Amino acid sequence: MRAKTELKSPLEKVDLKNLSLLELEEFIASFGKERYRSIQILRWLYQKRIHSIDEMTNLSKRLREELSQTSSISTLHPLKVEQARDGTKKFLFQLEDGNRIESVLIPDKARLTLCVSTQAGCALGCRFCLTGRNGFKRNLAVSEILNQILSVRETLTGEKSITNVVLMGMGEPLANYKNTLKAIGLMVNPDAFKFSSRRITLSTVGLLPELERLAQETIQFRLAISLNATDEESRSHLMPINHRYPLNRVLEACRNFPLRRRARITFEYVLVKGVNDSSQDARRLLRILKGIPSKVNLIPLNEAPGIPFKKPSEDKIAQFQEILMQGGLTAIVRKSKGAEISAACGQLQGKEGASNIDFLQLQG
Ligand code: SAH
Ligand code: SF4
């Protein structure tokens, strides 16, 4: 099978980074070449830092020529990189069509986590999230998801390398299901990025049809659900998607979700003052998560102009966490990283921000 038109770049060439291993094998077979060549190509694309087909020196010159005529290798360069005092770096990328997306690199002890975007904007309009308030532009291609990792990795010469990837940047990953799953497939492929599946986390509001579809997949990664409330009314208030996919059905899908032994679902809970931060909420959270292997990430709201909410006091946050832990639930308060450069959760807008703290470089 020739790769489908949607996989082609504007030049009508196939962007090799849009192809899953299976698609690459089919593409290579269409030239009458051996399938194992596709493993070699994967290694060039994702393990060695090459930018042109001609650099794939273990392929015959003939194959390289054929590939060059029909395919291309896309790249992504940061337009701007900002660094916060806590070491968090925010990368702003401009896509070929002018849309802008962001990725955030978060150092934390032995870990170096990259938070990538899966859409330009987001259609779901959660009321506490700046990405959501700015509306939806489009889904990212597989290559645009993967190029965020490759591009950031290139800036890390000599430093430690990326240890974890979280799909928690701009967009709702399950609303871009096919491309997101293909990208994860390449992240965990031993001949591509080679990440352990335990080091990839996808965060979703819990789109029900896609969660059900996901339950059938063999691919492994960590699942995080943005819960953010313990009753239908306040969840609908914060997240309009709750009208379509209500909390109780999301929880039911989680309860039925096939997890590997000892695996747990992470529930993200943005703490919003006066909306979902009472001790009654904490106790209800314990109750509704009963029977689901879970842990909870408490994220004190990152405030921003235009967001009509406040974050709770430190005391209130500690009290909420304490109730969960007393009830036997693992609950971590996520320290907000990169807030001063608007790189924290829910602050990604794909715009050049007003901040100029520790401005590092401007390229392109
Ligand atoms: N769309 C997906 C993934 C991107 S959002 C999702 O919603 O899960 C990643 C996380 O940031 C979500 O858990 C979301 O609840 C959280 N978030 C969004 N806006 C925030 C804000 N202003 N403060 C703190 N966390 C926020
Ligand atoms: Fe979209 Fe997630 Fe922001 Fe909601 S929190 S608007 S789903 S990016």
pLDDT tens-place string over residues 12-57: 799 999 999 999 999 999 988 888 999 999 999 999 979 899 999 9
Task: Indicate if ligand 2 lies below 6 Å from the C-beta of 205.
Answer: yes
Does the annotation mark 102 as catalytic? yes
Instruction: Out of 102, 114, 117, 129, give the residue to mutate to test ligand 1, the one with the largest number of ligand atoms within 8 Å of its CB.
Output: 129
Which of the following is catalytic: 23, 66, 82, 102? 102
Any ligand 2 atom below 6 A from CB of 16:
no
**pLDDT tens column, 144-157:** 999 999 999 999 97
Closest CA to 116 of 18, 182, 200, 210: 200
Least confident interval from 181-185, 197-201, 309-313, 335-339: 335-339
- Beta bridge partner(s), residue 104: 90, 115
Residue tagged 């990795």 (tokens): 153
d(CA 232, CA 218): 32
Ligand 2 atom with least separation from CA of 130:
3
Q: Write the CB contacts of 103 (distance below 8 Å, at least 6 apart in sequence).
A: 90, 91, 93, 114, 115, 116, 117, 148, 152, 169
- The pLDDT, as a whole number, for residue 40 is 96
Q: Is 203 in the pocket of ligand 1 (CB under 6 A)?
A: yes
Look up tokens 């992240």; give the residue: 187
- pLDDT, position 175: 98
List helix spans (H) across the chain: 21-29, 37-46, 61-70, 130-133, 142-154, 177-188, 208-216, 232-238, 247-256, 279-288, 314-326
Q: How many CB atoms lie within 10 A of CB 363?
A: 9
Percent of the chain with pLDDT over 90: 81
For ligand 2, pick from 103, 129, 139, 207 the residue to mutate: most ligand atoms within 8 Å of CB: 129
Query: What are residue 92's DSSP bridge partners?
Result: 80, 102
Q: How far is the CA of 190 from the centre of ligand 1 (A)?
A: 30
**In a mutational test of the pocket of ligand 2, which residue from 101, 122, 140 has the highest number of ligand atoms less than 8 Å from its CB?**
122
* CA dist., res. 358 & res. 353, Å (int): 13
Q: 50-79: per-residue pLDDT in tens?
A: 989 999 999 999 999 999 999 999 999 999
Tell me the mean pLDDT in the region 308-333: 97
Which pLDDT band, with edges at 50, 70 and 90, does 1 fall under? very low
Q: If phi over 0 gives left and psi between -120 and 50 gives alpha, with beta otherwise, what is residue 343?
A: alpha
Comparison of pLDDT for 34 and 159, the residue scoring more: 34
Task: Quick: pLDDT tens for 210-239.
Answer: 999 999 999 999 999 999 999 999 999 999
Average pLDDT for 332-352: 75
Res. 9: pLDDT tops 70: no
In the residue annotation, 122 being an active-site residue is answered as no
Shortest-distance ligand to the CA of residue 228: 1
* C-beta 119 within 6 A of ligand 1: no
Instruction: Inform me whether the pLDDT recorded for 351 exceeds 90.
Output: no
The reply to whether ligand 1 has any atom less than 6 angstroms from the CB of 204 is yes
The answer, yes or no, to whether residue 299 has pLDDT greater than 90, is yes
Nearest to 84 by CA among 115, 105, 110: 105
Ligand nearest to the CA of 136: 2
Amino acid 79: pLDDT: 96
Closest-lying ligand to the alpha carbon of 242?
2
pLDDT band at 137 (very low <50, low <70, confident <90, very high): very high
